[in-house]
Amino acid sequence: MKQRLCKLLARALADLANHDTLPVGYDAAAIHIERARRKGHGDFASNVALTLADRASLPPRELAQAIVERLPASDFVDQVEIAGPGFINFFLSRAAFEAVVPDVLEAGDAFGRSDIGAGKKVQVEFVSANPTGPLHVGHGRGAAYGAAVADLLQAVGFEVQREYYVNDAGRQMDILATSIWLRYQELSGEAVPFPASGYRGDYIYDIAGQLYRQHGKRLQRSASEVVRDLPLDISEGGDAEARIDALISRAKTLLGESQYRQVHNYGLETILASIRQDLEQFGVHHDVWFFERSVTQSSAMKDAIERLRASGHVYNKDAALWFRSTDYQDEKDRVLIKNDGQHTYFASDFAYHINKLGRGFGRLIDIWGADHHGHVPRMKAAFSAIGEDPAKLDVLLVQFAVLYRGGKKLQMSTRSGEFVTLHELCKEIGKDAARFFYVMRKCEQHMDFDLDLAKSQTADNPVYYVQYAHARICSVFRQMQEKKLTHNRDNGNAHLDLLTESHERDLLVALSRYPEVVESAATALEPHQIPHYLRGLANGFHTYYNAHTFLVDSADLRDARLNLIAATRQVISNGLKLIGVSAPEKM
RNA sequence: GCGCUCUUAGCUCAGCUGGAUAGAGCGUUGGCCUCCGGAGCCAAAGGUCAGAGGUUCGAAUCCUCUAGGGCGCGCCA
């Protein structure tokens, strides 16, 4: 509908250009048409006359007048008006909006989809939490956002791949393996003081217990050997990080490569399985689970660094290998290979992104926690250095959800074991409420997550308001059957002109906006637009419901109204599905 | 200290890439079921868009400065 108006305007402008009123060089793509914000301003408004007034050397209102005079006639425009400083307001005909009802009913689940993505390959990488513990509510926001972004892009015609990057190769994993083994030592009667920097969560005991049942005392070593000559922990006035590093190498020495690897892998696999399960319960799916080790244990890492080296932006200093990212506006240069010969996290992450590009994605979307924002410039710098367009990479920084319980801020830490898991959240407030709540806020906004509120007053969650509208419409159709009434869709479509109430027109307008909202949310990577739209649509329906009866005696009016609410039900269902929320027929 | 980011109603947040009189929910106050589900509807009160300059026909939106919050600033991941 918007596009049709654009065409009308473009023709009027072209006409003006031919008559020398306008310079020929105006940018046709710059024609802006927007939904009018106020009812008195019609349905759509354009500000072209304001933006082009300077170049036409005319006052905006005069230019607007000239444009309006040259607008081709159209059967879906009732009236055009010049208002304010020079806005052109379009008042659309009833027919223009009525058409949306048969459109929705015809398209069904597909209503709102489009092909603006033209089948281009996009990858969305999200969650990617270190497999060192179960997902907690902090990860939930990234999961809900990433899933919604991916679904939105798919809805507008991109070929989307959803990926989870598993950091299975770093020091964090060694800390995990060592933590598990030390708990195992406790169970087998060789306890040593648990390090301050170890993972303290209860789930570590669970994994250690399973390990003990499988292996008995095979992995047991004497406690005195474990702690012999270790540096002091922080509780003893020492350094926590030095202590845990020493424990890691002690575990590797005492267990040997093979047994240490067994503990390590068992921890990884167990936790990864629980993460997959939690995500599944949360309605989030990943197509590919990509392991960091597949980069670090292949030539990919070397190749990636070679590509950087070949670009001439790499140098040696202090026995380490550096990337001169300051050549591309980064704050400081970054180390690729440490002086101990090990690669940095940045190096493997870069190699991973090279791998992604090699898989033919024209666009990469990473969803990161806001604490990683410093990594964006260096990754883009690396893209630039090797001749890749940094604009191919979109990083969505998701701010942390700050948790409150009893009015007090909750600290979340996987290490200390103090966190609320995503699993618990789903159990307490349900997947639908959690998904809706997470996606409702735009991602760069800090978010307060009050657990007490989410748990105790679940009815206040706007998700129920939207779902209720859906269930209510279903209920109307159940009532219709009980009353032995019928619904003829074709007859309804033939009598849409009977929908003359202002509530009906408002609902028609809201329905016609849906494809625009989906497109806008997808291109801006802003899924929060969907819940906000759905709230408004549900409100339109509830208002209508209270003001008018649908199951009236007149079959023509009844069919038309039932078509309208059936279309509303369809759009609510489509919108909820995009953000991973179910559309119940009863509540 | 430096960098990024945020600040909109009592609270939690929208505000459609610069548009017209800044909008919702919760909370508060007052109304609405003999009727398709009251998890609903209607109405009222509530604002110096953190503050100050600037850019222009026009600013919550863009620029600068100031104040306050968050996050980064390691040869950790």
Query: What is the reported pLDDT for A296?
Result: 93
Nearest nucleotide, C1' to the C-alpha of A561?
B36
Query: What is the reported pLDDT for A369?
Result: 87
Span A213-219, average pLDDT:
95
pTM recorded for the entire structure: 0.93
Lowest pLDDT segment from A73-82, A189-198, A518-527, A559-568:
A73-82
Classified by CATH at the fold level, domain A121-167+284-398 comes out as Rossmann fold (3.40.50)
Q: Is the pLDDT of residue A403 over 90?
A: no
Angle at which helix A202-215 crosses helix A171-187, to 10 degrees, equals 70
CA of A144 to C1' of B69 (A): 25
The protein residue nearest nucleotide B6, judged by CA to C1', is A445
Average pLDDT of chain A is 90
Query: What is the reported pLDDT for A458?
Result: 63
Query: What is the reported pLDDT for A21?
Result: 67
Span A58-72, average pLDDT:
85
Per-residue exposure over A143-160, b if at least 16 CB sit within 10 Å of its own CB, e if not: bbbbbbbbbbbbbbbbeb
Q: Is the pLDDT of residue A424 over 70?
A: yes
CA of A274 to C1' of B20 (A): 54
Q: Is the pLDDT of residue A562 over 60?
A: yes
Span A301-324, average pLDDT:
95
The percent of residues above 70 in pLDDT, for chain A, comes to 95
Q: Is the pLDDT of residue A27 over 60?
A: no
Q: Residues A113-151: pLDDT tens digits?
A: 999 999 999 999 999 999 999 998 888 999 999 999 999
Span A554-573, average pLDDT:
97
Query: What is the reported pLDDT for A202?
Result: 92
The protein residue nearest nucleotide B70, judged by CA to C1', is A446
Considering only residues A25 and A303, tell me which one the structure prediction assigns the higher pLDDT.
Answer: A303
Nearest nucleotide, C1' to the C-alpha of A241?
B76
The protein residue nearest nucleotide B69, judged by CA to C1', is A446
Query: What is the reported pLDDT for A407?
Result: 65
Per-residue exposure over A74-103, b if at least 16 CB sit within 10 Å of its own CB, e if not: bebbeebebeeebbbbbebebebbbbbbbe
Q: Residues A339-355: pLDDT tens digits?
A: 999 999 999 999 999 99
As for the ipTM of the complex, it is 0.94
CA of A459 to C1' of B40 (A): 12
The protein residue nearest nucleotide B58, judged by CA to C1', is A85
Span A86-97, average pLDDT:
88
DSSP A5: H
Q: Residues A493-514: pLDDT tens digits?
A: 999 999 999 999 999 999 999 9
CA of A332 to C1' of B2 (A): 11
Q: Is the pLDDT of residue A194 over 90?
A: yes
The protein residue nearest nucleotide B76, judged by CA to C1', is A171
CA of A94 to C1' of B72 (A): 54
Nearest nucleotide, C1' to the C-alpha of A81?
B20
Q: Residues A100-117: pLDDT tens digits?
A: 999 999 999 999 999 999
Give the separation between CA A252 and CA A177, rounded to whole angstroms: 10
Query: What is the reported pLDDT for A134?
Result: 92
Every domain of chain A and the residues it spans: 2-92, 100-115+458-578, 121-167+284-398, 171-281
How many other C-beta atoms lie within 10 A of the C-beta of residue A227? Answer: 14
Lowest pLDDT segment from A17-26, A230-239, A304-313, A409-418:
A17-26
CA of A544 to C1' of B41 (A): 9
Read off the tokens for A526: 């802003």
Return positions of chain B under 7 A from a protein CB.
2-7, 12-17, 19-21, 24-27, 32, 35-42, 57-58, 69-77
CA of A434 to C1' of B44 (A): 33
Query: Of the candidates A63, A62, A3, A56, which has an alpha carbon nearest to the alpha carbon of residue A32?
Result: A3
CA of A70 to C1' of B43 (A): 45
> Residues with Cβ < 8 Å from A257, sequence gap 6 or more?
none
Give the separation between CA A572 and CA A98, rounded to whole angstroms: 18
CA of A543 to C1' of B43 (A): 14
Q: Is the pLDDT of residue A372 over 60?
A: yes
DSSP A524: T
Span A466-490, average pLDDT:
95
Question: What kind of architecture, by CATH, is found in domain A2-92?
Answer: 2-Layer Sandwich (3.30)
Nearest nucleotide, C1' to the C-alpha of A42?
B20
Query: What is the reported pLDDT for A22?
Result: 66
CATH class for the region spanning A100-115+458-578: mainly alpha
Per-residue exposure over A466-491, b if at least 16 CB sit within 10 Å of its own CB, e if not: bbbbbbbbbebbeebeeeebebeeeb
